[in-house]
């Protein structure tokens, strides 16, 4: 039987939720490698909502789970209902929702808080020896919750400094590569922190999944 990934979404859209190109690239890479996916998200209001056609904030709230269902084609489960026996690995696509709703890095920087359900998921995966992968800005969640973790966001100096301030280790990485922390079974790739288009995002996603495979 193939392995199953808990695929953690934060909404739908780069400015306030999960980045769609990154999510789809990761999903295709996982599918081609033989993984099954459980889509999941915290059933919470997004920390911010943005009209992506104007880049302006919106007043009406959106729910991270309901918005993530757009990417999941409706088949999504609340993170609170996910059992630790349901999955073999965890994957976080990027998008500002990772830094707004899954954690508060966008507002609070290195002093950010992580959503308790997300923090539990990461803790359970670490204790069970299950690999975790994260793309783009999502590695800041790992940096905040996993002391000493080796992660990458590419080469952005401000974010790299914040990651180091949180007690993790930042490793510079090209857009089509991924950084592995073999001790903690963590893989990260820069995606749109560096990418100039979806082809580069996909190349990084493929490399991320290849290195994820190597951690089992």
- The CATH number of whichever domain residue 132 belongs to comes to 3.40.50.880
The domain total for the chain is: 1
Residue 143, CA distances (Å) to 107, 148, 151 in order: 16, 8, 7
Give the end-to-end CA distance of the chain in Å, rounded to a whole number.
14
pLDDT of residue 55: 87
> Quick one: pLDDT at residue 59?
87
Q: Which residue carries 């309901």 as its tokens? A: 66
Cα atoms in the Cβ-side hemisphere of radius 13 Å centred on 93: 36
Q: b or e along 27-58 (b: 16 or more beta carbons within 10 Å of the residue's beta carbon)?
A: bebbeeeebebbbbbbbbebbbbbeeeeeeee
Using CA atoms, how far apart are residues 180 and 209, in angstroms rounded to an integer? 11
The CA distance from 6 to 134, in Å, is 12
Q: Rounding to the nearest 10 degrees, give the CA dihedral for residues 84, 89, 95, 99.
A: 50
8 Å CB contact between 162 and 142: no
**Structural domain boundaries, residue 105:** 4-213
Residues acting as catalytic residues: 136
pLDDT per residue rounded down to tens, the chain (216 residues)? 589 999 999 999 999 999 999 999 999 999 999 999 999 999 999 999 988 989 898 988 999 999 999 999 999 999 999 999 999 999 999 999 999 999 999 999 999 999 999 999 999 999 999 999 999 999 999 999 999 999 999 999 999 999 999 999 999 999 999 999 999 999 999 999 999 999 999 999 999 999 999 999
Strands 179-181 and 4-8: unpaired
- 80-97 in b/e burial notation, b at 16+ Cβ within 10 A? eebeeeebbbbbbbbbbb
Q: Which pLDDT belongs to residue 2?
A: 87
The pairing of strands 179-181 and 186-189 is: antiparallel
């Amino acid at each position: 039987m193939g392995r199953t990934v808990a695929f953690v979404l934060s909404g739908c859209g780069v400015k306030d939720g999960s980045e769609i190109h990154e999510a789809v690239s990761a999903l295709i890479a996982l599918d081609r490698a033989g993984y099954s996916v459980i889509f999941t998200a915290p059933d919470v209001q997004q920390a911010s909502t943005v009209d992506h056609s104007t880049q302006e904030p919106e007043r009406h709230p959106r729910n991270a789970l309901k918005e993530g269902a757009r990417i999941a084609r409706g088949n999504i489960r609340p993170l609170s209902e996910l059992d630790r026996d349901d999955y073999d690995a965890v994957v976080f696509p990027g998008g500002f929702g990772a830094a707004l709703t899954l954690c508060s890095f966008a507002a609070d920087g290195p002093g950010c808080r992580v959503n308790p359900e997300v923090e539990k998921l990461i803790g359970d995966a670490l204790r069970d020896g299950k690999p975790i992968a994260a793309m783009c800005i999502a590695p800041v969640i790992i940096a905040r919750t996993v002391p000493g973790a080796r992660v990458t966001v590419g080469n952005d100096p401000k974010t790299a400094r914040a990651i180091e301030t949180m007690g993790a280790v930042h490793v510079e990485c090209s857009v089509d590569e991924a950084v592995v922390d073999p001790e903690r079974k963590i893989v990260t790739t820069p995606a749109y922190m560096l990418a100039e288009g979806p082809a580069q995002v996909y190349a990084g996603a493929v490399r991320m999944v290849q290195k994820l495979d190597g951690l089992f």
